Amino acid sequence: MNAEKKPIPPRKLSFGEAVTEVEEILARLEDDEVDIDLLGQEVARAVALLQVCREKLTKTEGEVRDLVSGLQADETADKDAAPEGD
């Protein structure tokens, strides 16, 4: 989190942007670059970003399952509609 500018709300970030920011926060934490007075803010930001990432992953997983289920239903319907053996 950059102190010079106000951070973008996590929900407005793309999944990739959120992951990148979490990785940047983790790198600063690992390198002891975070002032102790800002540690809570950094961790809170990382948690908020991770929650948004989890929500996006869950939503996308549901969409993919729906698409795959639709394909499987189409295949079943096609098999049922196909003429019986030659």
Spell out the SS3 assignment of the chain: CCCCCCCCCHHHCCHHHHHHHHHHHHHHHHCCCCCCCCHHHHHHHHHHHHHHHHHHHHHHHHHHHHHHHHHHHHHHHHHHHCCCCC
pLDDT at 2 over 90: no
Expressed as residue numbers, the domain containing 64 is 10-80
Judge whether 5 lies within some domain: no
Question: Does the residue 86 lie in any domain?
Answer: no
Count of domains for the chain = 1
**What is the reported pTM?**
0.75
- Residue 2, domain member (yes or no): no
Q: What is the mean pLDDT of the chain?
A: 89
Read off the pLDDT of residues 15-46 as tens digits, 9 standing for 90 and up.
999 999 999 999 999 999 999 999 999 999 99
Output the pLDDT for position 82: 65
